[in-house]
């Protein structure tokens, strides 16, 4: 089975721009979660989508949004980028059951200048 | 509020040594705990998942234990190798329906010297 894929792998944007990141889960997985990783804050949960519905949300401003399509692929959007949004963005997929392992993609490294 | 702490933040050992990484959490109402490995600039690789009803899990040279009542988990690595060098992260999922939400520790950066 192919693993979780994320595109693009690297991205450079300037302040004020917006960005869209994509995540394709493992085939058959219905849950996709997004995390932000920075040296100072570590890994922080952004949100989770399950069957096209947002099931959980972390403590991030409304500039961070996401969606999930019928094929379980998910996109994350960040509007009005700030320097502090520079981070590694990771997505994880699972079947959506609480007892199951989450499988992570390689991440998208975003640099905001 | 659930907080996860990993000590030490960094660890350097000679090849062949057995070692223990520690993870503690403040709220014992967890559903499960997962250990991950992260290589520099890469994503996370799942190592072991322990359900709240379990005491330990083993995979090859790795053994993870869970003591929910004391809020602690350990990851034991036997006969360490240079290829084990990476950052090790533990993450907990809370008891009630939190779906995909994992709460992570800050990680332990392990260096195994040849």
Supply the pLDDT for residue B97: 59
Helix (H) or strand (E) segment spanning residue A19: strand A19-24
CB B7, CB B107: distance < 8 Å: no
Taking phi over 0 as left and psi of -120 to 50 as alpha, with beta for the rest, B95 belongs to: alpha
Looking at residues B92-110, what average pLDDT do you find? 83
B11 CB neighbour count, 10 Å cutoff? 16
Is residue B84 classed as helix, strand or coil in its secondary structure?
A: helix
Supply the pLDDT for residue A96: 77
Residue B19: how many CA atoms within 13 Å on its side-chain side? 22
Tokens 């996860």, located at residue? B4
What's the rounded Cα separation, in Å, for the pair A19 and A110? Answer: 9
Contact yes or no for B99 and A55 at CB 8 A: yes
Tell me the per-residue pLDDT of B40-94, one tens digit each, with 9 for 90 and over: 888 999 999 999 999 999 999 999 999 999 999 999 999 999 999 999 999 999 8
Q: Does B32 touch chain A (CB under 8 A)?
A: yes
What's the rounded Cα separation, in Å, for the pair B30 and B32? Answer: 6
Question: Residues with Cβ < 8 Å from B16, sequence gap 6 or more?
Answer: B79, B80
Taking phi over 0 as left and psi of -120 to 50 as alpha, with beta for the rest, A106 belongs to: alpha
Supply the pLDDT for residue B95: 65
Helix (H) or strand (E) segment spanning residue B67: strand B62-67
Looking at residues A17-22, what average pLDDT do you find? 98
Q: Does A30 touch chain B (CB under 8 A)?
A: no
B84 CB neighbour count, 10 Å cutoff? 18
pLDDT band at A87 (very low <50, low <70, confident <90, very high): very high
Question: Residues with Cβ < 8 Å from B26, sequence gap 6 or more?
Answer: B1, B2, B3, B4, B71
Q: How many CB pairs under 8 A join A and B?
A: 72
Q: What is the DSSP pairing of strand B44-51 with strand B56-59? A: unpaired
Which 8-state DSSP code applies to residue A91?
Answer: E
Looking at residues A79-99, what average pLDDT do you find? 91
What's the rounded Cα separation, in Å, for the pair A89 and A52? Answer: 20
Q: Which A residues 31-60 touch B at CB under 8 Å?
A: 31-33, 35, 42-45, 48, 50, 55-56, 58
């Amino acid at each position: 089975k192919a693993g979780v894929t994320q595109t693009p792998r690297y991205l450079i944007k300037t302040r004020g721009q917006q960005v869209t990141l994509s995540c394709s889960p493992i085939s058959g997985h219905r849950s996709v979660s997004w995390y932000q990783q920075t040296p100072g804050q570590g890994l922080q949960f952004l949100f989770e989508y399950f069957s096209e519905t947002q099931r959980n949300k972390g403590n991030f401003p409304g500039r961070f949004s996401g969606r999930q399509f019928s094929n379980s692929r998910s996109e994350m959007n960040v509007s009005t980028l700030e320097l502090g949004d520079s981070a590694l963005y990771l997505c994880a997929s699972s079947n959506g059951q609480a007892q199951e392992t989450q499988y992570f993609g390689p991440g998208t490294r975003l640099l905001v200048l | 509020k659930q907080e996860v702490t990993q000590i030490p933040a960094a660890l350097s050992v000679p090849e062949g040594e057995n070692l223990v990484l520690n993870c503690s959490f403040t709220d014992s109402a967890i559903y499960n705990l997962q250990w991950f490995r992260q290589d520099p600039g890469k994503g996370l690789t799942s190592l072991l998942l322990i359900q709240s009803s379990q005491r330990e899990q083993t995979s090859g040279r790795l053994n993870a234990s869970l003591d929910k009542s004391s809020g602690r988990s350990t990851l034991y690595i036997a006969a360490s190798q240079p290829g084990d060098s990476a950052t090790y992260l533990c993450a907990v999922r809370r008891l009630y329906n939190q779906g995909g939400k994992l709460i992570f520790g800050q990680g332990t950066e392990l260096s195994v010297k040849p």
